């Protein structure tokens, strides 16, 4: 039930982001979701793509430092309180959210939230036991 996310180190300088998107575009890799975390000096671009192995390969060829991490994708009803119910559950279990980002499914009815937890397996178990819809990797790559 885990989703593979790739992350890329970027310096804060003009053209940094576009050199990543260009490499992916040239290799016909589709970006499903992304988030950019940054400090004054550098940023970390996190991506969910449709072909993780190929994306890592083409970015490595371009000389980027690329990491792979397991994240969890949860479908949340697109209504008030949707996210809060998840966070309350995890807080109760003592699970910490390292970071998260969201995107909306094509149908527009549900939001999908990507979580990075400090305890991935426990988080998945808790979410499933409490009726949340945890998406499989293939479902997210193919969205």
Partner 1 sequence: MIYNEEFETLPREAIEALQLKRLQQVVGRVYHTVGFYRKAFDSAGVTPDDIRSLDDLRRLPFTCKQDLRDNYPFGLFSVPMSSIVRLHASSGTTGKPTVVGYTQRDVETWATLMARSFVSAGLNKNDIIHNAYGYGLFTGGLGAHYGAEKLGASVIPMSGGSTKKQIMLLQDFGPTAICCTPSYLLFLAEAGKEMGVDMKSLRLRVGILGAEPWSGRMREQIERELDITALDIYGLSEIMGPGVAMECIEGRNGLHIQEDHFIVETIDPATGEVLPWGTPGELVFTTLTKEAFPLVRYRTKDISRLLPQVCKCGRTFVRMERVSGRSDDMLIIRGVNVFPTQIESVLLGIDGLEPHYLLIVDRDGSLDTLEVQVEVSEKIFSDEIRELQNMEKRITKDIKDYLGVTAKVKLVEPNSLQRIEGKAQRVLDKRTI
Dihedral, CA atoms, 113, 114, 120, 125, nearest 10 degrees?
A: 30
Mention every residue, 6+ apart, whose C-beta is less than 8 A from residue 88.
none
d(CA 43, CA 38) in angstroms, rounded, equals: 4
1 interacts with partner 1 by CB under 8 A: no
Could you say which residues in the range 80-109 bind partner 1, by CB under 8 A?
Answer: 98-99
The smaller minimum CB distance to partner 1, of residues 36 and 104, is found at 36
Which of 14, 15, 39, 80 binds partner 1 (CB under 8 A)? It is 39
Q: How far is CA 9 from the centre of its chain?
A: 15
Return the number of the residue (65 or 92) whose C-beta is nearest partner 1: 65
> Which of the stretches 21-29, 33-41, 100-108, 135-143 binds partner 1 when contact is defined by CB under 8 A?
33-41
Q: Which is nearer to partner 1, 66 or 123 (CB)?
A: 66
Q: What share of the chain is helix, strand, coil (3-state, %, to 5)?
A: 35, 40, 25
Residues 108-127 touching partner 1, rule: CB under 8 A, are 116
Helix (H), strand (E) at residue 9? strand 3-11
Site string for partner 1, 42-81 (x = CB under 8 A): x-x-x----------------xxxxx-x------------
Given the DSSP bridges, would you call strands 42-49 and 110-117 parallel, antiparallel or unpaired?
unpaired
Site size for partner 1 (CB under 8 A)? 22
């Amino acid at each position: 039930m885990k989703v593979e996310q790739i992350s890329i180190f970027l310096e804060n300088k003009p053209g940094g982001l576009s050199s990543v998107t260009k490499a992916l575009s040239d290799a016909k890799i589709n970006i499903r979701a992304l988030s950019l975390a940054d400090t004054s000096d550098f940023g970390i671009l996190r991506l969910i793509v449709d072909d993780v192995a190929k994306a890592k390969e083409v970015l490595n060829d371009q000389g980027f430092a690329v990491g792979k991490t397991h994240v969890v994708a949860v479908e949340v009803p697109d209504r008030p309180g949707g996210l809060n119910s998840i966070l309350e559950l995890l807080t109760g279990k003592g699970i910490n959210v390292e970071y998260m980002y969201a995107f909306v499914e094509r149908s527009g009815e549900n939001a999908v939230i990507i979580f990075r937890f400090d305890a991935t397996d426990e988080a998945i178990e808790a979410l499933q036991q409490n009726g949340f819809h945890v998406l499989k990797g293939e479902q997210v790559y193919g969205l």
